[in-house]
Amino acid sequence: MTVELTRPFATRVAAAAILIGAISAAGCASAPWKSSREVVLEEILPSAVQIVVEQREGRRVTTGSGVAIASRKTPTGTSCFILTSGHTVAGLAGRAEIYTVFGRHQGTGRRTRASLVASRNDTIDLALLRTEVDQCASVRSARAPVLGEQVWVVGFPLGRHIMLSSGVVSQVIWDGIGDGAATGRLMVDAPVNYGVSGGGVFDAQTGGLIGVVEGFATARVTAQGATPAWYIDVPVPGQTHVTPLTDIRKFLAEFEQADLLRPAERWP
């Protein structure tokens, strides 16, 4: 059986074909489409900073992770401010050199010497560093996280390569029941290891910063029958403690640096 198209219908089909071809050609010429996940990761990964503490003769003392929160123009260039954990640099001021390494998500990165602006290692475990660098990709803060919210954690376990892990907000712990001014403590189930303390914890949907890694629960594994006796503390999966934005803002305000943290942007 032969089906013959009448002229009006055939004309419409031809026009539609031309239109589809034009759209396809335009699509091929445009930039490749990116998922929201790729867009978020492109925003947060450049903000990850590796922290290296060395004695003056060059021997490494400790390592940690950090996140760039702000940059400020200076007469000689750009100052970059990095947030990390207080225990990473505790007791080392004046006794060791602190270095920051940027761009590790793209390779070996760029290493610069940093100065310690402020530090606490008590009820708040935070430190603020400053360095001169031209590639300071700072973050913005996120809205208050809720239970079950998906997160990304970025850090440098064992002082080595950059690590990205995912999880959810597994606990929101309030210091005061019914107290609207109480500070909420956070726990996420994203796995981490030694050296990730101070690393950024981000809202996986928006890329906003919700806090930094404070530490993690450990379990002690003891060697049976070993002489001398020895043990090792290993991280407990799913119990990563996070210093929340409320504590970060309190810390920055205490040292007159409250303007460094960008406010949360509205998200639909």
For every residue of 146-159, DSSP letters joined together read -TT-EEEEEE-GGG
Strand partners, 145: none
Q: Is 110 in a helix, a strand, or coil? A: strand
- Write down the pLDDT at residue 7: 44
pLDDT band for position 193 (cuts 50, 70, 90): confident
- Tens digit of pLDDT for each residue in 12-49? 444 444 444 544 444 445 556 556 889 999 999 999 99
pLDDT, greater one: 4 or 58: 58
Among the residue ranges 48-57, 147-156, 257-266, the one predicted with the least confidence is 257-266
81-114 confidence digits (pLDDT tens) = 999 999 999 887 778 899 999 999 988 889 999 9
Domains of the chain, each with CATH number or no CATH: 38-132 (2.40.10.10), 150-251 (2.40.10.10)
pLDDT of residue 207: 93
Residue 49: C-alpha distances to residues 75, 137, 150, 251, 266 (Å): 24, 10, 22, 20, 26
Quote the pLDDT of residue 176: 52
pLDDT at 264: 72
pTM: 0.78
pLDDT digits (tens, 9 = 90+) for 217-240: 777 788 777 777 777 877 777 789
> 257 or 94: which carries more pLDDT confidence?
257
β-bridge partners, 258: none
Is residue 109 helix, strand or coil?
coil
Mean confidence (pLDDT) of the chain: 82
Quick one: average pLDDT of 145-151? 92
- pLDDT of the residue at 53: 92
- How far is the C-alpha of 98 from the C-alpha of 60, rounded, in Å? 10
State the average pLDDT over residues 59-83.
91
| pLDDT above 90 coverage of the chain, percent | 49
What pLDDT digit, counting tens, does each position of 165-187 carry?
999 999 887 665 554 444 567 89
Nearest 10 degrees: Cα torsion 222, 223, 224, 227: -120
- Is residue 212 scored above 70 in pLDDT? yes
Inter-residue contact 243 to 51 (CB < 8 Å): no
